[in-house]
Structures are given as structure tokens and as C-alpha cells.
Amino acid sequence: MNGLVRYASPVRGPQGLAWDGESMWLTSAANGRLYALDPKTWNVRREFAPPHESLGVTYTGSDFRLILAPAIDEPDLERDRRYVYSFTPGAGFSECFPCPDFSGSFLAYANGTLYLSQAWDKKLIELDERGAPVREVQLERRPVGMTIVDGAFYLATVDDDWVDGRLQRLGVDAAASSIETLRSFAFKPRSVAYDGERFWTADRNNHAIVSFTLATS
């Protein structure tokens, strides 16, 4: 496996990542905003202020899906109601549906299907077009980022104490028992994106964006 390459994030608290073929899209845990970044210079191309704080983001090929959450104090979980929104730079943000049990952090999309992760419950959930759960996959670790490449989830996961970061792979239609660990991280990862050549994750606490590739046998 190749080593990590770190880039200073142009915004503090990088959290959600998505690649649309031209720009790296980034959400910030520091201010809840959404940014389009130039992947060559890491300069901010555009900045958007959603109606609530943005968490995970994924690109569908025509628009984006984001999880938005109200700004709350951490103990006030009764007010932590999260929703999936659609977004395009031209049309802005539009509410789609609530997350299952109002819980969710990251999203992935493939073949017309949207998937959502719940870190506290250690679940991956396949959603229908109305946001209803179709299938749930129970994991042993907390998923804190995901993307889909060639029919498989690539997951950033942490343990119950939110440390021991790993990249894991699981077939989209496979049983959770077949999950495999591909590498570990010396930091607490958030999000996973893939640009066709490299994988990306965010080192939120140290305000960095990190790329890496996986060795082929």
C-alpha cells in the first residue's frame, strides 16, 4: 500500500468529501458550510451556506446529496434531527426526507441507490427514493465515512472510543461478516471519496485532507 499524502485544508474542520469529476467538495465541521475546491491548488472555488450544518456529502452524477443537522449542544440529542437534502450550485439546497430515526452522518451513491451510515448505531442503510430503509447492515465498528467503488463500500471506521481509524471494504450486497481491513490511520478519519485514481479522507482534528492509493496484487 502506498503512503498517505497530506494537504492543508483551506477551511477548518474538513469533514465530508465528494468528487464530481472536476472539484473536490468539502463540508466543514467548523462552520457547517459546503465548499468546492480546486484539486490542484486546494483553493476555494465556491462557498455555499446551507440552511443547517452540513455533514456527509455524495455526488449522484447530476446533483449532490447532503446530510444537514441543526446546530445543537452535544447533550441535547432530542433536537438532533438530521435530514437528507439535495443540492446543485444553480438551484441551491432542497429538503428530500428525514434520515431514518433522524440519525445519519455520511452518504454514498451508486446505480441509482442512496446509502446512509449511522455511526452511533454502527449501521449502513440502503434507502428508497422516499428515504425509507430497504436494507440494513450491522457493523462491529462505527462508520464515519464511505464511498462506493466497483460494487464495494470503502468505509472509514473507528472503534467505540472513536479512535483506531481504519479503511475497510465490504461488498454492497455482501454480509457484514465478509468485511476486510485494508489499512489503518494514525489519525481519526472522517469521510471517504474516490477520484478515479486516489482515495481521500479528512483529518478533521488537524485540518488536513489526506490522499492514498491501494496496492494492487
8 Å CB contact between 165 and 187: yes
Percentage of residues in the chain having pLDDT higher than 90? 92
Count of structural domains within the chain: 1
**Mean pLDDT of all residues in 192-207:** 97
In the structure, what pLDDT confidence band is assigned to residue 216 with cuts at 50, 70 and 90?
low
Task: Indicate the average pLDDT of the chain.
Answer: 94
Which of 11-20, 58-67, 70-79, 194-203 has the lowest average pLDDT? 70-79
> Could you tell me which residues are beta bridge partners of residue 135?
126
CATH code of the domain covering residue 90? 2.120.10.30
Asked if residue 175 is part of any domain, the answer here is yes
The torsion region of residue 129 among left (phi > 0), alpha (psi -120 to 50) and beta comes to alpha
Asked if residue 107 is part of any domain, the answer here is yes
Asked if residue 200 is part of any domain, the answer here is yes
Asked if residue 49 is part of any domain, the answer here is yes
**Mean pLDDT of all residues in 27-45:** 96
- Which domain does 115 fall in, by range? 5-212
8 Å CB contact between 121 and 113: no
Asked if residue 193 is part of any domain, the answer here is yes
Retrieve residue 196's grid coordinates.
478515479
Asked if residue 87 is part of any domain, the answer here is yes
Q: Given a cut of 60, is residue 75 above it in pLDDT?
A: no
**Mean pLDDT of all residues in 175-180:** 97
**HSE-CB for 27 with a 13 A CA cutoff:** 29
Asked if residue 217 is part of any domain, the answer here is no
Read off the pLDDT of residues 94-104 as tens digits, 9 standing for 90 and up.
Answer: 999 999 999 99
φ, ψ at 206 (rounded to 5°): -110, 15
